Copies of this chain bind each other. A is one copy, B any other.
């Protein structure tokens, strides 16, 4: 549980930055070298590498050296823990609203009778 919690901490925190989300959006379309990924960002390379490291620490991105180039890829099922957590909360919330809806409907029916 603690491990899963810390995965969610790192995953959601990593997603809370527009540069990092742009990197992920690029990688959903296929793997890319660090320099390809950095190109659209007006940012010093060490800062950019810091963002990449946060994505790797969060388990969202993997990277490997191919010759002199480092190639990055989206981790398979990268978004699953975050999506599962959000879906679970939404399901509970919507279930509660449905029950409230049923209750109000029953109440109104009883009043009419």
Interface residues of A in 4-28 (CB under 8 A from B): 5, 8-18, 21, 24-25, 28
Judging by beta carbons under 8 Å apart, are B25 and A96 in contact? no
**A interface size (C-beta, 8 A):** 30
Contacts of A29 in B (CB 8 A): 92, 96
* Copy count, this protein chain: 2
For the complex, give the distance between the alpha carbons of A90 and B75 in Å: 11
Contacts of A104 in B (CB 8 A): none
Contact partner, A90, options B8, B13, B30, B79, Cβ 8 Å = B79
Q: With an 8 A cutoff between CB atoms, is A112 at the interface?
A: no
Q: Interface of chain A, helix or strand or loop or mixed?
A: helix
Among residues of B, the one whose C-beta sits closest to the C-beta of A91 is B28
Given contacts A13-B16, A14-B16, A82-B82, 10 further A-B contacts (CB under 8 A): A8-B15, A8-B16, A8-B21, A15-B82, A15-B85, A25-B89, A28-B90, A29-B92, A83-B83, A83-B87
Q: Ordered nearest first, which 10 A-B pairs have the shortest CB separation?
A: A13-B16, A12-B16, A12-B15, A28-B92, A28-B93, A79-B86, A28-B89, A83-B86, A5-B18, A12-B12
